[in-house]
Amino acid sequence: MLSFGRFFSKQCIFKRCIFNRCMGIMAGTTLAMSAAADYSQHPLAAGFVDEMVQQHGFTAAEVNQLLSQAQKRQPILDAIARPAEKSKTWKEYRPIFIVPMRITNGVNFWNQHRNALARAEKEYGVPAEIIVSIIGVETNYGKNTGSWYVIDALSTLAFDYPPRAPFFRAELVNYLILTREQKHNPLEFKGSYAGAMGYGQFMPSSYRNFAVDFSGDGFTDIWNNPTDAIGSVANYFNKHGWQTGKAVVVPAKLTKARDTLLANESFNKVVPPSIKISEWKKAGVTPVAKVARTSPAIAIEFDGINGLEYWLGLQNFYTITRYNRSPMYAMAVYDLSLEIKQAMHNANKQTAGARH
């Protein structure tokens, strides 16, 4: 599951409404624009419709109707095709997320949803601070969930972005299925420019596989119901191998030349942990905190504020990377969770002291 942060402006949403209202009265140029935006007429649409009919029980009429209302969004194509910015170092990346306001908002979110977080921790074994941190990193606790229409985003990328069209086509399939399963209008939901949705930014396939109706109201609402979002994030982590009560990372130091370590093909690779701590120690990466020698881990190097730093990521670290493949993302989530937990502890301590 990936994070996406470029959102459609309110002005553009307003323009969508004006455009739709004008469709019936404008001629000539408007008809050409309409044809260009009508995905039911796209060369790849017939195959998609056949798939939805033959494999998923939709009617051709209903799929064509939805595709005819999905609009191509050039800004989405521009954003996803834009060359990646120069990679940030850890000392540049960390301050994006580990800031006082995000910590304060995390404490507030925890306090507001204390019961749901406690229940999720008990049922799924994922610490409350990790759940809060993920939601904080992804959407600033639901404040920035995205304002693109999901049907537009997924159709645009499924039909007009060849490099990843198969992925987004599958997500469009899942999106139409999930809206049918949940009995909701597929034209109404909004998300990121790549179709990630809700507090936790679930792609449609992740929604169908891992989202849960944690509030028990009959609708798995990750868009507007924090309780469902909390349960869904916890279930996602649980299903991706979170180990209850186990560490996430341990700090390490080098005991051999860095060049030797860089030559190790397993170093700095986010893969399922398979090399034991004892083996990493022999390779020159030695933990400086207590950890079982038999624990499998991945060895990571970060360019931090005080220079190069080394960490041994355990299974729980790898689990966080199932949300976003970047090791810096996983480390940011972990660091933010520690800050929120400490701030929560301090706030509870102050409250207890005031009572006495």
Which tens digit of pLDDT belongs to each residue from 189-207? 999 999 999 999 999 999 9
Q: Between helices 100-112 and 114-124, what is the axis angle to 10°?
A: 80
Catalytic residue among 138, 171, 301, 339: 138
pLDDT at 36 over 80: no
Q: Between helices 100-112 and 128-139, what is the axis angle to 10°?
A: 120
Residue 291 pLDDT grade (very low, low, confident, very high; cuts 50, 70, 90): very high
Averaged pLDDT for residues 91-118: 97
* pLDDT for residue 82: 83
Paired tokens of 169:
């086509």
pLDDT digits (tens, 9 = 90+) for 37-56: 689 999 999 999 999 999 99
pLDDT at 139 over 70: yes
Q: Between helices 150-160 and 74-81, what is the axis angle to 10°?
A: 60
Phi, psi of 99 (to 5 degrees): -130, 155
Helix, coil or strand: residue 12: helix
* pLDDT for residue 267: 95
* pLDDT for residue 349: 80
* pLDDT for residue 353: 67
Averaged pLDDT for residues 277-295: 97
pLDDT at 275 over 60: yes
The span from the CA of 32 to the CA of 199, in Å, is 37
Paired tokens of 234:
């916890």
User: Side chain identity at 295, as an amino acid letter?
Assistant: S
Q: In terms of Cα–Cα distance, which of 160, 205, 201 is closest to 6?
A: 201
pLDDT digits (tens, 9 = 90+) for 161-175: 999 999 999 999 999
Neighbouring CB atoms inside 10 A of 354's CB total 7
Q: Which residues pair with 307 in a beta bridge?
A: 304
Taking the CA atoms of 183, 186, 188 and 192 in sequence, report the sign of the dihedral they define.
positive
Q: How many CA atoms lie within 13 A of 55 on its CB side?
A: 11
pLDDT digits (tens, 9 = 90+) for 110-135: 999 999 999 999 999 999 999 999 99
Paired tokens of 300:
């990571």
Q: What percent of the chain has pLDDT over 70?
A: 87
What distance lies between CA 55 and its chain's CA centroid?
A: 28
Helix, coil or strand: residue 285: strand
Counting other chains too, the contacts that 185-191 makes at CB distance below 8 Å and 24 or more residues apart are 186/66, 186/150, 186/151, 187/66, 187/69, 187/149, 187/151, 189/149, 189/150, 189/151, 189/223, 190/145, 190/146, 190/147, 190/148, 190/149, 190/150, 190/223, 191/145, 191/146, 191/148, 191/150, 191/153
Taking the model in full, what pTM does it have? 0.87
Domain boundaries, the chain: 249-313
Average per-residue pLDDT for the chain: 90
CB 336 within 8 A of CB 133: yes
pLDDT at 299 over 90: yes
Taking the CA atoms of 288, 130, 203 and 34 in sequence, report the sign of the dihedral they define.
negative
Q: What percent of the chain has pLDDT over 90?
A: 84
Q: Is 138 a residue of the active site? A: yes
